[in-house]
Chains A and B, each alone.
Chain A
Amino acid sequence: NAGVTQTPKFQVLKTGQSMTLQCAQDMNHNSMYWYRQDPGMGLRLIYYSASEGTTDKGEVPNGYNVSRLNKREFSLRLESAAPSQTSVYFCASENRANYGYTFGSGTRLTVV
């Protein structure tokens, strides 16, 4: 099925551990995005990539790094996880035909 695939779906980390959240899309979209969503709140943009080889900061980039490995894949890395990074992380890609976003199903991350 065409769409945005995120892995893992769930993860528990200890404070200070590192991990990479993976995102891949098979729709040949140029732009990709990482958002986080905390309980009862809307989505906040962490980083985005307008095209392969480019990345830019969003609203809440501190504590994260990203890599646009190729056109399909856009990963989000937490170098030293903190409890404040407990959240649900969503990856999205943009359909250039209507500039609508397709979102993945999310990664639920808990940092203890």
Chain B
Amino acid sequence: DAKTTQPTSMDCAEGRAANLPCNHSTISGNEYVYWYRQIHSQGPQYIIHGLKNNETNEMASLIITEDRKSSTLILPHATLRDTAVYYCIVRVGHRDDKIIFGKGTRLHILP
């Protein structure tokens, strides 16, 4: 079962903010939202995660709606190096809950 729904692809101009949406309408109260990205031919890279509060780190910001049914990953100033597939994942976040990857969003940063 796909727990999340993401657009297949998106474009963003270099230097602008990239906003990647994710729907997770069946999320449970104890499930976190995680974001990873995979740059071509590399292993996926952890970006950020959150439960219900908005989160920010050196890579991105995560905005989770109040009902927790959707979220947005924000890359504040996209560069060409941010071109990648971005995966939104919901999981409980303990050792017995494995990450199941969907198809993700292919983000193209345009020069």
Instruction: Show the binding face of A for B, using Cβ within 8 Å.
Output: 4, 30-31, 33, 35, 41-45, 48, 50-51, 58-59, 90, 92, 94-96, 98-106
Contacts and interface: CB of A to CB of B under 8 A. Distances in A.
A106 B43 CA distance: 6
Nearest to A43: B101
Contact of B95 (A94, A102, A103, A105): A94
Contacts of B77: none
B51 to A, nearest CB: 11
Interface of B: 32, 34, 36, 41-46, 49, 87, 91, 93-96, 98-104
A103 B93 contact: no
Nearest to B85: A42
Given A50-B95, A104-B43, 20 more contacts: A33-B99, A35-B101, A41-B103, A42-B101, A44-B101, A45-B98, A45-B99, A48-B98, A58-B98, A92-B44, A96-B95, A98-B49, A99-B93, A100-B34, A100-B49, A101-B99, A102-B46, A103-B45, A105-B43, A106-B43
A30 B94 CA distance: 11
Contacts of B101: 35, 42-44
Contact of A101 (B41, B44, B103): B44
A68 to B, nearest CB: 13
Given A90-B43, A100-B46, A45 B100 contact: yes
A95 B48 CA distance: 13
B46 to A, nearest CB: 4
Question: Which of A30, A100, A103 has the largest number of chain B CB atoms within 10 A?
Answer: A100
Contacts of B104: 42
Contacts of A44: 101
What are the 10 A-B residue pairs with the smallest beta carbon separation, nearest first? A103-B43, A100-B46, A99-B93, A42-B101, A43-B101, A50-B95, A90-B43, A31-B95, A103-B44, A42-B103
B98 A99 contact: no
